[in-house]
Amino acid sequence: MQNLISLLQEQKAAYTGNHKDLTKLINKIDSTTHAPTSEKHIKRMVPFVKTPLLVDYVNTTLKHYFEQKNNFTKDLNGLSFYDIKETWYLFTLLVCSDKIETTVSHIIETMLASKNADLSIARRILNLCKNPVYQTQLNDIESYFEKHNKSTKVYQWMHALQVTSPTTFNWEFVFQLQASQVTTGKTEFTDNLFLSVRGFEPKGNGASFQIDLTDSNRDIYATWNDFSKENYCSFKNKKIQLSLVPNLENLKDFIKELEAVFNLEFDRTYDFQYFTRGFKNKNNIQKWLREK
């Protein structure tokens, strides 16, 4: 499969405008490291909107690439095999246009219909661009997420704890609890064991949290998310059966089960924490964890 930049370059013959403009666009995108996340990133594409032939060329090429890459859907492992930063910078260029570009509408409609996980990226870009031309598309996305977020695990859990997330996009929190002197069967395990919990702005498919259990040697390892059904973890490549499939709501009960299974005790005080600026009542999570 072609990557997006190669596709732009290989089809230069189809571009009837000044090829220097196209080269500048490619070089600008090549200089970036990730998809746009701020107004500063959005402004990188604004100068290119002044060249209508370039906008039309990007409009046609991006739609072809979107369909070639199976509409950016994820595989069973949750991976999307497409050029993320290149795609979303070109999408940004089109969103900055003074008229509705067909590819933008096509991508948004398709992602809404398929509940695509990366719809959250399109949402962020539309909000950062603030282009009134796309207000209808933005309203459709916001309506989707308004209904969608209320049903996600992270919002339900935070609501119960009276924790409010920031109004900015791409918010997340991560905290880690630590235990030591683990014993399982006849095997003594004296390295540190870590339980890491991450919550984040829900993706288009409803993903909103991830829980990881591991140690520095990775003798013990497991990861769970909104869609997990496996109630076990691995210890030196052997399955250890658990009664719970962990999620945010049953996290305290899951910690108790780990303590019983491995004969250990977790410190309920964060070993590590990170919260995006803007959370309200975030300390309620720590208080909740300490209430055994």
Taking only the tens of pLDDT, the chain with its 292 residues reads: 458 888 888 877 788 889 999 999 999 999 999 999 999 999 999 999 999 999 999 999 999 888 887 777 765 555 667 889 999 999 999 999 999 999 999 999 999 998 888 898 999 999 999 999 999 999 999 999 988 888 899 999 999 999 999 877 779 999 999 997 655 554 455 567 899 999 999 988 889 999 999 988 888 889 999 999 999 998 888 899 999 999 999 999 999 999 988 888 899 999 999 999 999 999 999 999 999 7
DSSP state, residue 291: -
Which residues of 118-257 form beta strands (DSSP E)?
A: 172-179, 182-184, 187-189, 193-200, 209-215, 220-225, 232-235, 238-241
Give the per-residue pLDDT at 186: 45
CA 288 to chain centre: 26
Give the per-residue pLDDT at 1: 45
Residue linked to tokens 């991830």: 210
CA–CA distance, 98 with 276 (Å, rounded to integer): 33
Determine contact, residues 36/42, Cβ cutoff 8 Å.
Answer: yes
Give the per-residue pLDDT at 78: 57
- Give me 174's structure tokens: 């991560």
Give the per-residue pLDDT at 55: 96
- CA geometry: angle 109, 112, 114, nearest 5 deg: 110
pTM to 2 decimals?
A: 0.74
CA–CA distance, 217 with 236 (Å, rounded to integer): 10
